[in-house]
Each structure stands twice: as C-alpha cells, then as structure tokens.
Amino acid sequence: MKVVVVGGTGLIGARLVERLRARGHDALAAAPSRGVDTVTGAGLAEAMRGAEVAVDVSNAPAFEEEAVRAFFETSGRNIVRAAGEAGVRHLAALSVVGTDRLQGSGYFRAKAAQERLYEAAGLPCTIVRSTQFFEFARAIADASTEGATVRLPAARVQPIAADDVAELLAEVVVGTPVGGTVEIAGPEGMGLDEFARRYLQSVGDARAVVRDDEATYFGAHLDADSLVPGSRARLGRVRFADWFTASRH
Ligand SMILES: NC(=O)c1ccc[n+]([C@@H]2O[C@H](COP(=O)([O-])OP(=O)(O)OC[C@H]3O[C@@H](n4cnc5c(N)ncnc54)[C@H](OP(=O)(O)O)[C@@H]3O)[C@@H](O)[C@H]2O)c1
C-alpha cells in the first residue's frame, strides 16, 4: 500500500521508510528536500494522491516557542486537510510520552496542539507517543549544560533506540487505527541524569552530570514519573549498552 511519511528524511522518518519498503509497501518520503513542504503546502496534495496511510514524523526546524507552535499547527492543518482529500484510511503522528504532563515547556505545548489537531481531524487516527530516543541523549545533555556541568533530575525515563521506534511505528501505521494514543518505549528504565551520564561517559565527553531534581527538562519541571509510559506501552528490544556497541553515535 502507499504510505506517505512526512519527515521521511529525518532520524525516525528515514528508518521508517526503509522498514515499510522492506515490508513491500510503497513508502514515499515527504520532506522539503524532496519537494514536499507541509508548511507552505507545496507538493503535499500530489504526495498524498493514492495514499492509504499518512504518518507525520516531521519536526520543527527551529525550537523557539512561537516557531515550533506555528510549525506544528500550520503543518498539521495542511496534512490533515490533504490526507482527508486523498481519502487516507489511517492518519498517524509521532509525539512524546508525557506530553500532557510537560506543559511548562513551549515545545511540549506545541506538541499538545499538534496532537489535538490530529485527534479532531475526523479521520481514522493514531497518535504514537514515544519516550526519548537514545540518539537524543546528547541534545538533552547540551540543553542542560552550564560550563562543564550538566544538571538533570533523576526523574525516570525509559529511552528507546531510533531503530526500535521505526520498527514499532511501521507495525502501528499499517495496522488498524486505534482512535487514540499508543505508547512506545525502550526495554529498561533509568534516571534522566543516569541516561545523560552513561551517554557522555561512553563517548568520552568530560562533562560532569550532577543530579538536580529542580533542573527543568526543556523548560518543564519533572515529577518522578513525568516521562514514564503506562503499563501497556509496546517495548523495543535494544538495550542502551548494546546500542553503544552496535551503532555509531
Ligand atoms: N527526540 C526525541 O527523543 C523524541 C521522542 C519522542 C518523539 N519525538 C518526536 O519525533 C518526531 C521526529 O523527530 P526526529 O528527531 O526524527 O526529527 P528530525 O530528524 O529532525 O527530522 C525532521 C524531519 O522533518 C522534516 N521537515 C522539516 N520541515 C518540514 C516541512 N516544512 N515540511 C515537511 N517536512 C519537514 C525534515 O525534512 P528535511 O530533511 O527536508 O529538512 C525531516 O525529514 C518529532 O515530531 C518529535 O517531537 C522525539
């Protein structure tokens, strides 16, 4: 079947396109670098023509609150309209576990706005909420660095490899729309501070990670379980330690 992957050139999108093709689907990577811009609408209707499934794994190119909100709202509206006009039977979007609990952050307010657009689209829809990607550990550390110190709370996380995200997404998007949210996560939990510390130590980064339960996560205050998925989350297989030995990072 034809599957349009919006953001199909990104970290998750490229892996998702690859897996869908391996399963025999006609996966189209829709992204500005491929002539499809969901903000301006350029190339979008043509990309959607004949599609049975559309999945949005795009991300905003800039992260200031207004920019990210404008991106997800405009892009989301255009995708929903184009998917409706094309008659897709399943519309899906990738979001973040705990988005509703992270509303102190401008980024997560924008993700919540994106989720609401999809939920209100009147189309058969699935929101897939993932935990933090292993590949995002450096960005988390960078965002919490002052001088040579990284300050992060010990709030629990259950991070996941981008390969596992793509594998689980591929299963969900070609399946039946759930009309709600599905959570996906990695196989093991750890503290957010530990996640960053293990990453930095493994790549030989000398920054010290200090536990600071008052430190924010992209502007949001975390409770112990803000980033933890529910008990029904679908789990990936790759462990953090194995990911280091198996991949370039
Ligand atoms: N980072 C995490 O730990 C995490 C956890 C859970 C969920 N998520 C969510 O996962 C999603 C994907 O993240 P990612 O890291 O894979 O993103 P990414 O690598 O930054 O890729 C972003 C993609 O969006 C495309 N894009 C940008 N502007 C566009 C536009 N105007 N029209 C169409 N496509 C556009 C880019 O296309 P070009 O290549 O042409 O620029 C690229 O394919 C995000 O929505 C994020 O919120 C992230």
130 lines ligand 1 (CB under 6 A): yes
What backbone phi and psi angles, to 5 degrees, belong to 172?
-65, -45
Whichever domain contains 133, its CATH number is 3.40.50.720
Q: How confident is the model at residue 63 (pLDDT cuts 50, 70, 90)?
A: confident
Closest C-alpha residue for ligand 1 atom 36 = 7
Closest C-alpha residue for ligand 1 atom 18 = 10
Nearest to 160 by CA among 55, 233, 58: 233
158 lines ligand 1 (CB under 6 A): no
Q: How confident is the model at residue 62 (pLDDT cuts 50, 70, 90)?
A: confident
Number of domains in the chain: 1
CA of 19 to the centre of ligand 1 (A): 17
Residue 245's pLDDT is what?
Answer: 83
pLDDT at 249 over 90: no
Tokens representing 245 are 């030995």
CA of 89 to the centre of ligand 1 (A): 23
CA of 82 to the centre of ligand 1 (A): 19
Q: What is the pLDDT of residues 187-235, one digit of tens each?
A: 999 999 999 999 999 999 999 999 999 999 999 999 999 999 999 999 9
pLDDT at 248 over 80: no
Residue 109's pLDDT is what?
Answer: 96
pLDDT at 134 over 90: yes
Full DSSP string of 43-54: THHHHHTT-SEE
What backbone phi and psi angles, to 5 degrees, belong to 223?
-90, 170
Return the best residue to mutate from 39, 58, 118 for the ligand 1 pocket (most ligand atoms within 8 A of CB).
58
pTM attached to this predicted model: 0.97
Whole domain around residue 179: which residue ranges?
2-246
Measured CA angle at 175 (ends 172, 178), to 5 deg:
75
Residue 246's pLDDT is what?
Answer: 78
